[in-house]
Amino acid sequence: METAGALNAQHILLAVAIILAVGSVLGFVAKRLRVPDIVLFLIAGIILGPQVAGVLDIPAASTLSWAIIIFTASYILFDGGAELELKILGKMWISLAIIVTIGVLITAFITGFAAQWILGIPVMVALLMGAAMAATDPATLVPVFRQVHVRDRVAQFVVSESGFNDATGAVITFVFLGIVLGGAAGAGHISVGGAVIDLVKDAGIGIGVGLVIGWLGSLFVAHYRFGILVEYLPLLTLIAVIGGYIAATALGGSGFMAAFVAGIVMGNMHYFRFEMEREEKERFQEFVGTTSLIARMFIFILLGSQVKLGLIAEYWWQGLAVVAVFMFIARPVTVFLCALPDRGARWRFRELLFISWCRETGVIPGAMASILVASGAPYADVLAAIIFMAILITIILQATTAKWVAGRLGLLVDDAAQKTG
For the chain, the domains span: 60-408
Which phi and psi (to 5°) does residue 275 adopt?
Answer: -125, 140
CA distances to 220, 266, 268 from 273, in Å: 13, 11, 10
Q: What is the CA radius of gyration of the chain?
A: 21
- How far apart CA 283 and CA 279 sit, in angstroms, is 6
The pTM score is 0.77
Does domain 60-408 fall under CATH 1.20.1530.20? My reply is yes
159 Cβ partners below 8 Å, 6+ apart? 83, 84, 138, 141, 142, 145
DSSP 230: G
Give the largest CA-CA distance in the chain. 72
- How far apart CA 96 and CA 164 sit, in angstroms, is 9
- How far apart CA 163 and CA 161 sit, in angstroms, is 5
Name the helix (H) or strand (E) containing 94: helix 93-99
Taking only the tens of pLDDT, the chain with its 421 residues reads 455 555 477 878 888 899 999 999 998 898 888 777 777 888 899 899 888 888 888 877 777 888 888 888 888 878 878 877 777 667 778 888 899 889 999 999 999 999 999 999 988 899 999 999 988 766 667 667 766 778 878 887 887 787 678 777 877 888 888 888 876 444 444 555 566 677 778 778 888 999 999 998 888 887 666 666 677 777 888 889 999 999 999 998 888 888 888 988 888 888 877 777 777 778 777 888 888 888 888 888 887 887 778 878 888 899 999 999 999 999 999 999 998 888 777 899 999 999 999 877 877 787 788 788 878 888 888 888 898 888 888 877 887 788 889 889 988 886 544 344 4
- How far apart CA 192 and CA 119 sit, in angstroms, is 24
SS3 of residue 137 by DSSP: coil
